[in-house]
Copies of this chain bind each other. A is one copy, B any other.
C-alpha cells in the first residue's frame, strides 16, 4: 500500500477535525511518527503545514499543541466564508459565465429536493445532504473562475465547525432539524434563482445570509445536547 505524499498531513488533520485529537492535546514529532509508522520527516512537514492552517501552535521546545478554537473564532470564520462565497456568487453573474454552472447547481437542487420529498430524516439522509451541500458550494466557488476565492477559503475550510463540509445534527430533534435543512435548501433555490436572473448583488447577499444561518444554529446549540457532527470527505 503506497501512501500518498500528503497522507500524514491528511491523517493528522482528520484526527483533529474529528475530535480524536482534542484541543490542547500535545503532539510531539517522535511519538507521532511512531504512532503513524513513518519517520520524523513527513511528520515535521505535516506539523508545519498544520501550524500554517492554524490547527496547531508550536510551544517552543515542547512540541506542538492542538489549538483552542473559541466560539468567536468560529463565528469570525463563518463571516469570512460568507463574504467569500458571496463574492463567488456575484462574480459568476458578473462574468456572465452563469450558464455553464447553472446546470450543475440545478442538479444539486433536485438532488436536495428528492431528499426532502418526505419528512423522514435519518442519519444517512443527512450524510447525503452534507455531500450535496458541499458540492453546491464547490460548484459555486469553482464556477466563479476566481481561484483566489478558493485559496482564501482553503484555510477556512480546515476550521472545525465552520466549514461547509461539517454539519451538526441533533438526532433527538429530527423534526426541527428537517425544518432547518429544508430552509437552508430553500436558500439554495433562491441563490440559483438570483444567479439565473443575473442579480449579482442579490446572489451575493443571499449567500452571505446563508452562511450566517449555519452560525445562528451553532450559537443556539453549544449547550451540548446529544448532537453529532457529520462531515464529508
| Contact for A79 among B45, B148, B153, B162, CB less than 8 A | B148
Q: Could you list which residues of chain A lie within 8 angstroms of chain B, going by C-beta atoms? A: 41, 44-45, 48-49, 52, 54, 72-73, 76-77, 79-80, 83-84, 86-87, 91, 145-149, 151-156, 159, 162
Determine if B91 and A84 form an interchain contact, defined as CB atoms under 8 angstroms apart. Answer: no
Contact between chains at A148 and B48 (CB < 8 Å):
no
* Complex contact A155–B146 (CB within 8 A): no
- Closest residue of B by beta carbon distance from A80: B148
Shortest beta-carbon contacts, A-B, top 3: A76-B146, A77-B148, A152-B152
Give CA–CA (A4, B123) in the complex, Å.
50
What secondary structure prevails in chain A residues at the interface with B?
A: helix
Contacts of A159 in B (CB 8 A): 148
**CB <8 Å contact, A52 and B54:** no
Q: Which residues in B have their C-beta under 8 angstroms from that of A86?
A: 83
Number of copies: 2
Asked whether, in the complex, the Cβ of B73 is within 8 Å of the Cβ of A148, the reply is yes
Task: Identify which of A76, A91, A148 gathers the most chain B CB atoms within 10 Å of its CB.
Answer: A148
Contact A76 B149 (CB under 8 A): yes
Q: Report which of B44, B49, B145, B153 forms a contact with A52, defined as CB distance below 8 A.
A: B49
Q: Are B45 and A152 in contact (CB under 8 A)?
A: no
- Using A49-B48, A83-B83, A87-B79 as known contacts, say yes or no to A156 and B146 having CB atoms under 8 A apart: no
Q: Are A80 and B152 in contact (CB under 8 A)?
A: yes
A-B CB contact pairs (8 Å), 29 listed: A44-B45, A45-B48, A48-B48, A48-B49, A49-B52, A54-B147, A54-B151, A72-B145, A73-B148, A76-B91, A76-B145, A76-B147, A76-B148, A79-B146, A79-B148, A80-B84, A80-B146, A80-B148, A80-B149, A80-B152, A83-B83, A83-B86, A84-B84, A84-B152, A148-B159, A152-B152, A152-B153, A152-B155, A155-B155
